[in-house]
Each structure stands twice: as C-alpha cells, then as structure tokens.
Structure 1
Amino acid sequence: MTSDAARADGLTDAVQAVLPALEQWLRFTDMTGPARRRDSWQAVLDVPLPDKGAGAGPALAELADWVVANGLPIGAPGFTGFITTGPSTVPAVAQFAAAVASPQRYAVSAFNLLEGVSLRWLAQACGLDPTVAGVYSSGGSVANLLALGAARQAAFERLGVDVGRDGLPPGARGRIYAGTEAHHTIHRSAAVLGLGREAVRPVPVDDRQRVRPDLLAGMIERDVAAGDVPVAVVGVAGTTNTGAIDPLDALADVAERHGVWLHVDGAYGLPAAGVEELAGRFAGVRRAQSWIVDPHKWLATGVGCAATFVRDPELLHRTFTQTPAAYLAMPGSGAVASAFEDFGVHYDDLSVELSAPPRGVLVWAVLREIGRDGLHERIRRHVAYARRLTDLARAHPRLEALTDPELSVACLRYRPAHPVADAELDALNEELLRRLWRTTAHLPSSTVVAGRFAIRPCYVGVRHTDADVTGLAAALVELGDALVAERAA
C-alpha cells in the first residue's frame, strides 16, 4: 500500500460539506437543543473505536449533523456567562487557514512574522509600550504561569540563585501577594512553580472588591522579617467575579518601595486600558514588569489565545529555556533559500510549549479587520451595557444591583416585594438562574458578592445588542415573579 487512508485533497468540497451546518449553528435558534438531545447524539458518537474507517464523506456528514449541531453556544448574543466568546468570522477563518497552511509557529513564513507583528499591535491596543516583549500561549492559566515564572527567576537571582537552572534553594519560601478576588490560576501557577498554593498571600479587598495596598505593605514587611522571599505583587485589571480593577498605581508604589515585581493580570480587562476615557481606571499599569491579556475574550479570536508581556525577555528565557536539541538546529547561513534555514524567534525558549500553532494570525486578523478604533468602540459598547443593566436594576422595585460596574460585568439579583431572609433570597435567585438557562436565550453566570448570590452577566461578545440587555432585565422580573407566585401557592 502506498497511499494513506486519510483524504488529503478536496479541501473545498470538504469544507462546503460542513459550512451549512455551521451557518445554521450561528443562528442560535435552539439554545437548549444540545442538552435536550443529549441521549441521541451521545448514542451516535460514543461508540467503540472502529477497525475500519467510514471514509471522508460519512465522517464529514456526522461532523455536520451530530457534532456541529450540538455545540456550545458561547458565541450567542445572549451568552454572558464565562468571560469568553465565540470567534467573529475573520479570525475563525484565520484559524482554519493556519491549521492548513502553517501548523507550527516557527521558521520562515508569514504566520511566523505575524506572531511578532500582532504582539506589538496588541501591546499598543492595550495602552502598553510597544517595545515590551511577548509570547502567546493557550490561555490565562499558562500566561500567568509564564509571567510569575519570570518574577520568581528575578526574585531569586537577586539572592544569587538561578532558580530556573538549579531549582529553589532548600528551605526557601517564596511569596506572591494577590487580592482575595484574584483568579485561582495565580494559586495554580504558584503550585507549578514549586512555591506551593499556600505561598499566595491573600490581601483583603475593599467594598468595591479591589485589593487594599495599605494592608499589602505590612504583609510584605512581616514576611521579609520572617525570612520569606517576596516574588510578586499581583494587580488585577478586571476581576473575574465583578470586573473590579485593582489600584495599580498604589500597588506599584508598594512594590517599588520593597523591590518586588508587579504583575498585572489583565486577562479580561487590559484592552480597556487603551480606551481613552477608561484609561484613568488603569493608572499605573505601565509601571508593572509583566502583564497578561487573553485575546479570546474582548478580541473574540476564538478560545486558545493568550499573551504574556514582560519588560525583560531574558528572564523568560532563563526560566523556560530548553536544553539544546540537535534536531532543532538550523544549518543554514547567509541568504535564506528555504523556510527551514531560519527558525525565527525561539518562542519555545520563552514558554512551556515547543510545538504550538501560530496564534498571532488570529490577533492580526481581528486588528487588521476592525483596527484599534473598532476594538475600543466594542469595549465602550460593552461597558455601557453593564452600566445600562445596573441602572435598570436600580430603577426597578424588584431588582437589586450589587456592584457599580467598572468594566462590562454587572452583578444583580431579583428581590421580591416582601421581606425575604438572605438564605431564601439566594436560593430563589439560584433557581431563577436555572430557569433563565432552560427557558430563555439569556445565559449569564453567577457569583457571590459580599456573601450574596448574584446573577452575573459579562458582555464581551460581538453579537450582543441593546435588546439582550433590556431582555435580560425583563426576564429576571418575569421569571422571578412567577417563582414567587409558585412558592406562595
């Protein structure tokens, strides 16, 4: 046999076989369908490994009829749950093009070039200095790990230890300082970096869910006195729960006074720092040593795209560099006549990934299509949606706003006209959220604000409209009233 069992031609026909199903999916006409039909598609798909393949035609038909048709509607207009969204059209096509034309991000290709170009554009769109160095990864979890890895390297190098090469000194205790509203990926990063989850020192937050710098300084001083090594202070530019922005300028003051690395977790909110009328909320953001941002959030590239920026890429290199590998050596010299005579930027030595797809083309595609102005206008619109929903809640006698939005997250709840105990009110809103998911096109998530259960929409998708905002408020009242009536019957 000289040919492979997989089809390697006929790309146009193969794509056209699935496109109608994708177009139908993007109408989002049946939001609860995949859950209702779970038994049927699971029976078709969850079968034993076949010895003989069905061939391209049946595989594509199954993909269209059973897989695409039962996807996850995170790109729907009413989806405001996770801080992520489906891709807009151009980056979706760019991702497909990259998968076919350049499966790896290295060597001489336009895709390799766009890694660097897009990182520069992204830094500028976020209001950072375009000279900062960056590397892409799969999401905020890895992006935070890379930044805090560089912070750990810098902290121990000041003590004369190359921790990336030699490991942590015996008995050393590194500390990371983050507000109690910081994302749990900070703790996971500490664990992976050998510091341990308990190395993350929780700093209390104020009544607006922002870290308190006045308490941070004392915590650092006590740890230093105990022989601990301060590794990093983490400021969050848009918390997951409420969208709060930590006082970055004040954090920078504390960090500089104690010689500690300042890292900004801007996975969600950092693009808003580039918006002129919002920039004041991010005062001090440029004073950090590292930043992360997830383009798969506000840029709508599609999930699996994050960026880490640092001032000094050599710290990343000393932390994550691989031992030399002969098979990665490029023997070319002088003029390059083959794509494989120049490896390009060694992103593999700045990250935990060697093999990696070109993610920069997704960011390039978004910014090439809509530009900085288009991105910033999207952010303005979404921040206005959160404000509008909050205003609707404050104006309605049976809705209650639980936060004053800084970005595009709103937190609210239904509150009956008659007095209700806190526990009963939480249970009522939990059931209300389930009914929203099951009976409407509105798909927010939940959180807890100052001990109170909150319904929490976050606007980052490209398909949200004014009607999704007013419709959610109306649905909360309608379903809440119905629930109260049922319980009274």
Structure 2
Amino acid sequence: MNLDFEPERFRRLLAQASEQVLSLHASLPRSRVTHASSPRTVAEPFLGILPETGMEPEAVIQDFIPFIFEHSTLNLSPRFFAYIMSGGSQVGVLADLLCAGLNVNSAKWHLASAAAEVERTAVRWLGEFIGYRSGPGGALVSGGSEANLYGLRVARDVHAPDVREQGLAGSRPLTLYASEETHSCITKSVEMLGLGSSHLRKVPVHADFRVDVDRLEQAVRRDANAGLKPFCIVGNAGTVNTGAVDDLEALADVAERHGLWFHVDGAYGAAAARVEGVRGRFKGLERADSVALDPHKWLQVPFEAGCALIRDWDGLRRAFTYSAAYLQARSDSEERWDWMGHTFQLSRAFRALKVWMQLQVYGSGKLRAVIADNLQLMQQLGAEVDAACDFERLAPVSLSILCFRYVPSVGRRWDEASLDMLNARLLEECERRGQFFLTGTRLRGRTALRACLVNHRTTAAETHGLLAHLRSVGEELAASWEGGA
C-alpha cells in the first residue's frame, strides 16, 4: 500500500508546514522564551489511544503543531541565555528537510555514496575550523556526550588492546584524569566502557576554575607507583559551568611525558580556537589525540550534530570495524568509504548534510564572526556586572559564560544562606515569567546565576535587557522577602 500523497497535495502540505516555521521565526522577538503551562496541560492533547484510521495530515499540522511550538522552550530566541544551546540556523532547517526527503542510511557507501563523501568533507573541515589538523580521523555523532565516549573508547583500545576480547578483568585497572569541572558525560563514558568511575581521578582546580596541572601529574605518578595503569588525560576546552579552558599545552606535556592519551572535551569551546582574542587560550589543542566538538553549539547547526575527531583514521577503524556475512562489500570496497567501519551505528542519519551546508553557505569567516560577537557581548555584560552595586561576578568570563549573583544593595543585610535562596528564587521567577531564560549553578558552595550565549540572533539589546530584567525581578523579590517564605 503506497503511503505517498499526490504531488500537488504534498506541495500544499510542505507549504503549510513551512508557514508554521515562518510564523515561529517571525514571532521570536516578542514570544516568551519559556512557557508557563503545567505538565498536565502539556500532556493532555497527547493522551489519546493509538489511532486505527488516523487523521488528515492538514488537520495534524493545524491542530497540533502550533500547540507543540507554543509549549516548547525557544532556544531559538535571542533572549535565551540558559544551556549551551544555539538557536540553529535557517540553512539547517532546509538541510533537515532535504535530508528527511532523501531518507538515506549513511552507514554504507552503496546505500549513500554522496552522503559518505559529504561527511568525510565535513569532518575534515571541522578539524581545520578549530585548527586541529588537516584530514583528521573522525565521525559525526549525536553530540558531545557521544563524541567524548568515542574518544575514550579509542584511547582504551589503544592502551589496552586485548580488552575487546579478554575484557578488563585480567588487566591492571586503567585510570584517567580530568578536572573536577569536567562534564558528567566523562563519568558516564567511563562507566559505559567498564573502567569504573572510581578510576576517574577528578583533580581540583585553581581560582580561575582551570585544572591544577601539578596535582594532576602527581596523581598520575601516584597511581603508576601503586600498580595501576594511567592511560588518559582529559582537558577542557570550555567547561559547562564557567567556560574555563584548561592549560592544554601543559596537559599535552604531561601526557607526552607519561605516554598517555590526551583527549580534549571541546564540545562547547573548541569552535573558538581560531577566533582572534581567545585563540591563545587553546594552545596545545592541536596536540590532542582526540577532540570532542559540537557543531550544534557555537556553529549554529540544528540538533543533533556532534563530532568525534581522532588523530588518525586507524584508531577509529580498530575500534569499530567488525565483519558480518550480510554486510560484505563488493570487490571495489577499497574505493568505497563505509562509515559502518568507523562508527558504532549501522543505521545512521545523514546529519552531515546540515553540517556541510552550514559551512558551505556561511563559510568559516562568518561563523567565526558570530563567535567573536558572542564573546564580546558577554565580556561587556561581565563589565556591567562588575560596575553594578547590586551584582557580583563569581568567575572569570573566559569565553561566553558569565556566572554572577544578585546582591541587593539596599535594605537588610543578607547572609550567604539567604543570598543563595534569593538567587534560586530569582531563577525560578525568571523562568516562570518567560521573558528571559538563564540557569544556575553552584560555584565554591554558592548559588550562581549562569548566563551563556551561543546564539547568532542575540544583540546588546538582549544582554542589557537581561541585566535590567534580573534587577527588576530581584528588587521585587527582595522587597517582599521574609526569610525565604
């Protein structure tokens, strides 16, 4: 039974769907960033039973899509300062439409030959964009978590080549090293790889939230002397809490001295590695054995688009090449690039199209200009916080993350516990009102407001507006404060 529509009806449906997208983008300047509906309200339209006969697609688009758009947090908005989530791009919208229309599985060359070559180019271009190397090994994955997992998987197999067949039971415990500010996906990866989270050494950081390299090296020596097997150092090229960039050059030196794999989590910050004004902070990135990068962050590619970059292709092949009779290639296989031999997946979306189109349409210069603009805006916002009598900055503005807190300048004296409660309430109230959205974190035991910018639509009007909005809401909360009640 053919499920296709007649060509003219399909054309009208595409136009109807496009109008929904156009309306969404046109309303961004005035739309709420967050919605205020309850979980029950959001769930209610979707509680029906599985339909037997279904409904017309025109009705589905008309009746459900506006509700879904209305009840989604708009990271597209220029007033979104929460997680490290870009606003995407309209080129990405076009690419996803084209990709869905083609519907290829990019795992095998003879199923998606053009897709295979597009991805090879996209990986090469991403390596060049961050100044890593020309022609690195790599693969496009779902995001930073998977990209970090890939890097650590290859590192494990290089330093414990028997583990794939023999497992970890008979080997010396493998240990790896990262700062206490490292993303939680590193812990998840360690657990998924069977290494055990107790063998991940979380090293303290300095006042600027960069890893203490001396203490890291001491931990490496201590574990080696205790009969363990150090194998990997993880450096941060932009932490999620503060945007701190570790001393990558020093970490590369430690890895080289001890014969360890050097992995860099650059999911957020590595895209800025060749941007004027901050490029010096990334010195040493080019020495990494593997790098995690997220095009769906600062490169403005729509979700999902991560990239695992490996120093050479051999590491990926050794980690992921398997054979199965039904997957045997033809005799010209050496000329065919099968991604199934370089990744875990045998079913892979053509996500490379939106990454390649983004780079092809905008070029590296315009994308770096977006990053530079974001960096400048957050530096200016940090300066405004420093100049204010009712805000206090809690960490350096290393990239485009600003951590600070509201401290009322008049009225009662506020102790630390009350300030923590007040700032937590301020975050909740901002999300409830929906004009701006930012998140919080904990830094050295204190509650911080955390504003992050990786959006090409944001201007100085929004950064100034964010501070004014926080001040207004903060003054309102402080005036009515009764011990947090």
TM-score category, normalised to shorter length: over 0.9
**Is 2:14 the counterpart of 1:15?**
yes
**Aligned equivalents of 2:53 and 2:191: distance in 1?**
44
Which residue of the partner structure matches residue 193 of structure 1? 193
Which residue of the partner structure matches residue 258 of structure 1? 258
Distance 1:350 1:361, change over 3 A: same
Which residue of the partner structure matches residue 337 of structure 1? none
- Corresponding residue SS for 2:277: helix
Q: Which moved more, 1:143-152 or 1:103-112?
A: 103-112
**Is 2:449 the counterpart of 1:455?**
yes
**Is 2:221 the counterpart of 1:221?**
yes
Deviation at 1:343, TM superposition (A): 8.8
Instruction: Indicate conservation of the 8 Å contact 1:140/1:292, yes or no.
Output: yes
Deviation digits for residues 413-452 of structure 1 (CA, Å, limit 9, x no counterpart):
1001243111110100011111112224211111112211
Q: Which moved more, 1:262-271 or 1:217-226?
A: 217-226
Instruction: Indicate conservation of the 8 Å contact 1:18/1:63, yes or no.
Output: no
Letter in 1 for 2:433: T
- Corresponding residue SS for 2:413: coil
Which residue of the partner structure matches residue 148 of structure 2? 144
**Is 2:385 the counterpart of 1:386?**
no
Letter in 2 for 1:73: L
Instruction: Indicate conservation of the 8 Å contact 1:394/1:400, yes or no.
Output: yes
Instruction: Indicate conservation of the 8 Å contact 1:429/1:453, yes or no.
Output: yes
Alignment of 1:238-277 (within 5 A): 238-277=238-277
Instruction: Indicate conservation of the 8 Å contact 1:129/1:286, yes or no.
Output: yes
Instruction: Indicate conservation of the 8 Å contact 1:85/1:300, yes or no.
Output: yes
Instruction: Indicate conservation of the 8 Å contact 1:330/1:343, yes or no.
Output: no
Distance 1:350 1:112, change over 3 A: closer
**Aligned equivalents of 1:139 and 1:38: distance in 2?**
27
**Aligned equivalents of 2:259 and 2:53: distance in 1?**
63
Distance 1:136 1:33, change over 3 A: closer
Distance 1:40 1:432, change over 3 A: closer
- Corresponding residue SS for 1:276: coil
Which residue of the partner structure matches residue 431 of structure 2? 437
Deviation digits for residues 270-318 of structure 1 (CA, Å, limit 9, x no counterpart):
0111113321101111111110100000011111111111113222222
Which residue of the partner structure matches residue 468 of structure 1? 462
Distance 1:90 1:458, change over 3 A: same
Deviation at 1:171, TM superposition (A): 5.2
Deviation at 1:365, TM superposition (A): 1.3
**Is 2:121 the counterpart of 1:117?**
yes
Instruction: Indicate conservation of the 8 Å contact 1:124/1:130, yes or no.
Output: yes
Distance 1:34 1:396, change over 3 A: closer
- Corresponding residue SS for 1:295: coil
Distance 1:25 1:273, change over 3 A: same
Deviation at 1:325, TM superposition (A): 2.0
Letter in 2 for 1:445: T
Among 394, 400, 403, the residue aligned to 1:408 = 400
Deviation at 1:191, TM superposition (A): 0.6
**Aligned equivalents of 1:139 and 1:111: distance in 2?**
19
Which residue of the partner structure matches residue 315 of structure 1? 315
**Is 2:37 the counterpart of 1:45?**
no
**Aligned equivalents of 1:347 and 1:175: distance in 2?**
30
Alignment of 1:346-425 (within 5 A): 346-417=338-409, 418-425=412-419
- Corresponding residue SS for 2:195: coil
Deviation at 1:115, TM superposition (A): 0.2
Distance 1:37 1:186, change over 3 A: closer
Q: Which moved more, 1:40-49 or 1:377-386?
A: 40-49
Letter in 2 for 1:77: P
Instruction: Indicate conservation of the 8 Å contact 1:183/1:239, yes or no.
Output: yes
Instruction: Indicate conservation of the 8 Å contact 1:177/1:232, yes or no.
Output: yes
- Corresponding residue SS for 2:273: helix
**Aligned equivalents of 1:406 and 1:275: distance in 2?**
13
Deviation at 1:387, TM superposition (A): 0.8
TM value normalised by structure 2? 0.93
Distance 1:313 1:39, change over 3 A: same
Task: Output the aligned Cα RMSD.
Answer: 2.0
- Corresponding residue SS for 2:176: strand
**Aligned equivalents of 2:137 and 2:224: distance in 1?**
30
**Is 2:132 the counterpart of 1:128?**
yes
Deviation at 1:349, TM superposition (A): 2.3
Which residue of the partner structure matches residue 234 of structure 2? 234
**Aligned equivalents of 1:16 and 1:95: distance in 2?**
16
Deviation digits for residues 212-247 of structure 1 (CA, Å, limit 9, x no counterpart):
110111111111111111121000000000000000
**Aligned equivalents of 1:332 and 1:312: distance in 2?**
25
Q: Which runs of 5+ in 1 are unaligned?
A: 334-340
Deviation at 1:32, TM superposition (A): 6.2
Instruction: Indicate conservation of the 8 Å contact 2:404/2:448, yes or no.
Output: yes
Instruction: Indicate conservation of the 8 Å contact 2:178/2:235, yes or no.
Output: yes
Alignment of 1:94-109 (within 5 A): 94-105=95-106, 106-107=108-109, 108-109=112-113
Q: Which runs of 5+ in 2 are unaligned?
A: none
Which residue of the partner structure matches residue 87 of structure 2? 86
* Percentage of identical aligned residues: 33
Instruction: Indicate conservation of the 8 Å contact 1:7/1:56, yes or no.
Output: no
Q: Which moved more, 1:462-471 or 1:179-188?
A: 462-471
Which residue of the partner structure matches residue 291 of structure 1? 291
Letter in 2 for 1:385: L
Distance 1:389 1:33, change over 3 A: closer
Which residue of the partner structure matches residue 153 of structure 1? 157
**Aligned equivalents of 1:4 and 1:412: distance in 2?**
58
Deviation at 1:46, TM superposition (A): 1.9
Instruction: Indicate conservation of the 8 Å contact 1:178/1:235, yes or no.
Output: yes
**Aligned equivalents of 1:305 and 1:424: distance in 2?**
41
Distance 1:73 1:343, change over 3 A: farther
Deviation digits for residues 386-424 of structure 1 (CA, Å, limit 9, x no counterpart):
111111111111011111211000111100124311111
Q: Which moved more, 1:137-146 or 1:412-421?
A: 412-421
**Aligned equivalents of 1:245 and 1:371: distance in 2?**
25
